Amino acid sequence: QTRVGFYSTTCPRVETIVRNAVQTAVRADPTLAAGVLRIFFHDCFVNGCDGSVLLDGPSSEKTAPPNVPLRGFEVIDAAKSQLETACPGVVSCADIAALAARDAVVLAGGTSWQVPLGRRDGLVSQASDTVNLPGFNDPISVQIRKFADKNLNIQDLVTLVGGHTIGTGACVVFSYRLYNFNNTNQPDPDINPAFLPQLRALCPNGGDGSRRVALDTGSVTRFDNSFYANLRNGRGVLESDAKLWSDPTTRPIVQRFLGLSGLLGLTFNVEFGRSMVKMGNIELKTGSQGEIRRVCRATN
Ligand code: HEM
Ligand SMILES: [Ca+2]
Ligand SMILES: [Ca+2]
């Protein structure tokens, strides 16, 4: 029910306004591209793509552990306030998040895609609903199930997690892999032995868990397929990422992104846009459901 050009008569400058807001923010702080992309994923996976993650409140989704590190809400706010001047009451916050995610990818060097629009903003945001989000130590079977629950297949999973080609993770979400994996007092055997000392230097045992490390070593700001090469080389940082290579269900798809072994190749930057359009259609509110918020942090 979303469509490209949804606001072509009601707010023709919507794409320009959002793009300018994202561009201004990302030029000032390039790490915000990753923040904005992740916001959209965390929105869509909880109550559908309805801006629920944007709502403030004492027990809103933002307060749940996986959402506490989210960054870039002020980018959405900036776009919204300009849109309320240009075309008041017309553009949903959920659509702004969808456009901003695309624009962030393009600013990081990714390939553009057309974003179908027409989402409505939700009225509900509960921290407890964030259990649907995939966890960094979920087995592949659980990752697959959580994506399948949202009508996303295994290829969509491997493609969308490729979003980790930009951005960082805090030591606290992966340092257990470096020192005491599954109570073995040993590192995770999936980590390349040459990579292990690098990660240990970045995240010393018992050190500052909030220190941030690139999820795609050597290419943290570029939207490229280097992430998959790192996975193949035992240089995945998150346990869930490393498993995309070690698990036989997902490895062939990583191989296709790398153009390996006579498999039908996949071009990451083309597939990413396709899978983002699919993700952007999760559990949409239609007709008179929801509303068009005046500010993205609160319901009307
Ligand atoms: C199995 C699925 C996924 C898991 C388990 C997962 C988990 C994580 C974790 C643990 C972090 C680090 C958070 C922190 O320490 O601040 C992270 C960061 C990130 N994730 Fe995911 N993620 C998944 C899928 C995705 C998808 C589908 C996207 C986008 C399409 C995405 C985009 C990002 C980005 C851009 C960052 C970096 C954020 C920043 O630098 O602020 N992730 N993810
Ligand atoms: Ca949502
Ligand atoms: Ca990269």
For 16, 70, 76, 143, the CA distances from 23, given in Å and listed in that order, are 10, 18, 12, 32
Q: Is 45 in the pocket of ligand 1 (CB under 6 A)?
A: no
What sign for the dihedral angle of Cα 136, 226, 273, 159? negative
Residue to mutate, 41, 132, 145, 219, ligand 1, most ligand atoms under 8 Å from C-beta: 41
Spans of the chain, pLDDT less than 70: 261
Query: How far is 148 from 154, CA to CA, in rounded Å?
Result: 8
For 30, 56, 113, 176, 238, the CA distances from 293, given in Å and listed in that order, are 28, 13, 25, 41, 35
How far, in Å, is the centroid of ligand 2 from the Cα of 282? 9
pLDDT of the residue at 261: 66
**Which residues have beta carbons under 5 A from ligand 2 (an ion)?**
43, 46-47, 50, 52
CB atoms within 10 A of CB 146: 18
Cα torsion at 9, 12, 18, 21 (round to 10°)? -140
- Annotated ligand binding at 261? The verdict is no
How far, in Å, is the centroid of ligand 3 from the Cα of 209? 23
ipTM of the complex: 0.99
Instruction: Dump pLDDT digits (tens) for 103-162.
Output: 999 999 999 999 999 999 999 999 999 999 999 999 999 999 999 999 999 999 999 999
- Where is 170: in which H helix or E strand? strand 168-170
Q: Is 177 in the pocket of ligand 1 (CB under 6 A)?
A: no
Q: Hey, which residues are catalytic here?
A: 42
| Tokens of residue 100, six digits | 């901003």
For residue 90, is it left (φ>0), alpha (ψ between -120 and 50) or beta?
A: alpha
pLDDT of the residue at 70: 98
Structural domains in the chain, sorted by start: 14-133 (1.10.520.10), 140-275 (1.10.420.10)
Q: What is the pTM (predicted TM-score) of this model?
A: 0.97
From first CA to last CA, the distance across the chain in angstroms is 23
